[in-house]
Amino acid sequence: MPVSISTKCCYSLSHRSRHSLFSDLTLDSLWKQYKKLERKFGFSGQQPGQFERGHAIPEQQQERPGLQSHLHPHPIETELPTEDGRLAQYKASGKLTACNALITGGDSGIGRSIAILFAREGSNVGIVYLPQEQEDAQATKEIIERDSGRGTELYAGDVKDANFAKTCVDSFARKYGCIDILVNNAAYQNLVGEIENLDIDQWDLTFKTNIYSYFYFAKFAVPHMHRGGSIINMTSVHAYQGGPSFLDYSSTKGAIVTFTRALSNQLIGRGIRVNAIAPGPIWTPLIAATIPKDKIPSFGHSAPMQRPGQPSEVAAPAVFLASNDSSYISGSVLHPNGGTITNS
């Protein structure tokens, strides 16, 4: 605790208040008292933390597809906020013991956080990523193997290629015997303000990445899945809001919602659940590679919580949907979006 802050804090209190404040000299109690006073008197002078209202990310820009290792601040992958303003590590409880999960776009951002949390819960994981993202993919593999010791397979290639998708699925299923969980998470987005300026090639690229690949991986994974399996598709708040600068992206995310519901109806009799997650503004490499750098500091402030979300805040709901905790849920969409109301 900085001296200047603690001094200012103490001088602003009466002798009786100071006695009450320091009567229980444990680190935990002092921290809680400090955070309570900080909220009450606003004396911190520090920028809001990543889970705090008003958090502003510094200006930055990356080339596509973006690398997590180059982001500042680093997205939070495994921690969640506590009521006293601190961070607590996600607590695993064996919810996915002996499961096998294949995750597209699992090298960074939301996908990396999902991969790490799934592994903590006991699942082996397969990570699908672009060759340009090898650095992030290798880092994710090392984190998982150091953190939980679970098996981690890496598959570099283009999810738009149906043959590559089949190769990934078959290889992973052959390695571990079956696929229990499929997470369709890979995505492409690019800002274009007017429909006249939206290239047909970009339209095709966005659809082939964001919806064709979901079809490919689900089609090839289902034969390797058994009763109790779970498919999780990553859609977006843009599916409901229709972001004007994300016409192609929003369209694919709307398609993913319908794809999820239809596939759920198709597979529910086989005991395979299909759900989706529609994140709001989450701090990932995709953002730094898409949004103009002068817009980065205000990223996420349009959400009612007035801050960007973190990958861990999407990964925790993914664990819920992958596990038996959600055994009576299928064809549904979860909305970790900072409080934005959607009609789902």
pLDDT at 79: 96
Question: Is residue 341, in this structure, part of any structural domain at all?
Answer: no
User: pLDDT at position 83, please?
Assistant: 84
Burial of residue 226 (number of CB atoms within 10 Å: 0-12, 13-18, 19+): exposed
State whether 199 and 264 are in the same domain: yes
Task: Examine residue 241 and state whether it is found in any structural domain, yes or no.
Answer: yes
Total structural domains within the chain: 2
CATH number at residue 106: 3.40.50.720
Regarding whether 257 and 180 lie in a shared domain, the answer is yes
Q: Examine residue 32 and state whether it is found in any structural domain, yes or no.
A: yes
Q: Residue 141 domain-assigned? A: yes
Shared domain for 36 and 92, answered yes or no, is no
Structure confidence at residue 48 (pLDDT): 75
Annotated catalytic residue, options 188, 214, 249, 328: 249
Which candidate, 289, 244, 282, places its Cα nearest to that of 114? 282
* Domain identity same for 159 and 96: yes
For the beta sheet containing 273-277, the strands, ordered from the edge strand earlier in sequence to the opposite edge, are: 152-156, 124-129, 100-104, 181-184, 230-234, 273-277, 333-334
Instruction: Say if residue 31 is in the same domain as residue 72.
Output: no
pLDDT per residue as tens digits for the range 280-312: 999 999 999 999 999 999 999 999 999 999 999
Q: Residue 225 and residue 198: Cα distance in Å, rounded? A: 39
Q: Do 34 and 92 belong to one domain?
A: no
Domain assignment of residue 60, yes or no: no
Is residue 57 one of the residues assigned to a domain?
Answer: no
> Looking at the structure, do residues 105 and 250 belong to the same domain, yes or no?
yes
107 close to 137: Cβ distance less than 8 angstroms: yes
User: Is residue 213 assigned to a domain?
Assistant: yes
What's the gap between Cα 161 and its chain centre?
24
For residue 168, give the nearest of 176, 180, 157 by alpha carbon. 157
Q: Please compute, for residue 279, the number of CA atoms within 13 A of its CA located in the half-sphere on the CB side.
A: 24
Same domain, 218 and 170: yes
Same-domain pairing of 184 and 305:
yes
Residue 340 lies in a domain: no
Task: Give pLDDT, residue 24.
Answer: 53
| 323 and 233 both lie in a single domain | yes
Q: pLDDT per residue over 90-100, tens digit each?
A: 999 999 999 99
pLDDT at 26: 72
Query: What is the domain extent for residue 32?
Result: 3-41
Low-confidence ranges of the chain (pLDDT < 50): 1-22, 39-45
Claim to verify: residue 178 and residue 136 sit in the same structural domain? yes
**214 in catalytic set:** no
Residues 166 and 246 in one domain: yes
